[in-house]
């Protein structure tokens, strides 16, 4: 989920792909257009973030941030930011099938896992393969439960890419779906928009109207080599591409 491909737009689809699912109130024609919530988070990291150096290089980061998105907010992000929708949809399907062979991802045009070698070890497929039975249970029961939770990752487990997403919880509030997720680490340029789209795709598999998706970000960051390009993106350069830092 952290590669330049994540930044590329897919042909076709358009906003109609989302408006059929997302219940979005109409905006008044004279309303002031604000930056989408994803771009607002990028701006916040740039303007308020602290600096740090780790084994992957220098970053500008913020701790313990939150993004709460209604269907209208999601539509705004998907319409104004280029996301590799088809590849991310295929990726999530492979994760949920428990597919660990990197070659299978290459077969559908996904090459951002190549740095992991031939097999994804204790990474996303290990945990996402538990998602289909959880979704089936939610659709079958539709209870007001706090126990519809997918946990990802294991302390000290050998892995060539530990999941950055640590937990996804599905709750039902007055007949509507509320999705909450915790990310231990979020590459704001590449990983964050991909995870937002994955969570949206998960929500579509549950037979309830979506109320909101909320992300709790333990550490959200922009790598130093992507800072200038992030400024360019926010200034309207839709063709900007970001470096993968591994």
Cα distance between the two ends of the chain = 12
What confidence category does residue 56 fall into, taking pLDDT thresholds of 50, 70 and 90?
confident
Residue of 213, 214, 191, 173 whose CA lies nearest to 21: 213
Least confident of 10-19, 42-51, 129-138, 188-197: 10-19
User: Using one digit for the tens of pLDDT, what is the confidence trace for 209-242?
Assistant: 999 999 999 999 999 999 999 999 999 998 899 9
User: Using one digit for the tens of pLDDT, what is the confidence trace for 161-198?
Assistant: 999 999 999 999 999 999 999 999 999 999 999 999 99
Residue 126 · residue 100 · CB < 8 Å: yes
Least confident of 26-40, 81-95, 176-190, 216-230: 26-40
pLDDT value, residue 244: 87
Which CA distances in Å does 101 have to 117, 126, 129, 194? Answer: 9, 12, 14, 20
Q: Give alpha helix (H) positions in 162-238.
A: 191-204, 227-234
In a 3-state reduction of DSSP, which class is residue 187?
strand
Residue 95 · residue 126 · CB < 8 Å: no
The pTM assigned to this predicted structure is: 0.88
C-beta neighbour count of 144 within 10 angstroms: 10
Contacts of 98 by beta carbon, 8 Å cutoff, 6+ apart? 125, 126, 128, 129
Residue 119 · residue 98 · CB < 8 Å: no
């Amino acid at each position: 989920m952290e590669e330049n491909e994540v930044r590329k737009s897919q042909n076709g689809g358009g906003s109609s792909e989302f408006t059929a699912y997302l219940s979005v109130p109409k905006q008044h024609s004279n309303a002031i257009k604000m930056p989408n919530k994803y771009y607002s988070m990028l701006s916040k990291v740039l303007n308020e973030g602290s600096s740090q150096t780790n084994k992957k290089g220098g970053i500008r980061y913020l701790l313990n941030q939150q993004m709460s998105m209604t269907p209208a907010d999601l539509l705004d992000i998907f319409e104004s930011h280029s996301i590799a929708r088809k590849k991310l949809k295929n990726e999530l399907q492979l994760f949920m099938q428990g597919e660990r062979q990197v070659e299978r991802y290459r077969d559908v045009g996904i090459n951002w896992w190549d740095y992991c070698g031939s097999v994804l070890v204790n990474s996303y497929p290990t945990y996402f393969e538990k998602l289909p039975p959880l979704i089936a249970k939610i659709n079958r029961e539709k209870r007001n439960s706090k126990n519809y939770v997918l946990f990802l990752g294991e302390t000290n487990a050998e892995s060539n890419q530990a999941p950055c997403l640590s937990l996804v919880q599905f709750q039902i509030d007055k007949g509507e779906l509320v999705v909450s997720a915790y990310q231990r680490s979020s590459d704001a340029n590449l990983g964050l928009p991909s995870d937002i789209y994955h969570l949206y795709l998960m929500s579509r598999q549950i037979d309830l109207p979506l109320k909101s998706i909320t992300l709790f970000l333990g550490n959200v960051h922009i790598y130093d080599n992507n800072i200038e390009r992030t400024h360019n993106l926010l200034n309207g350069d839709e063709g900007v591409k970001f470096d993968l830092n591994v």
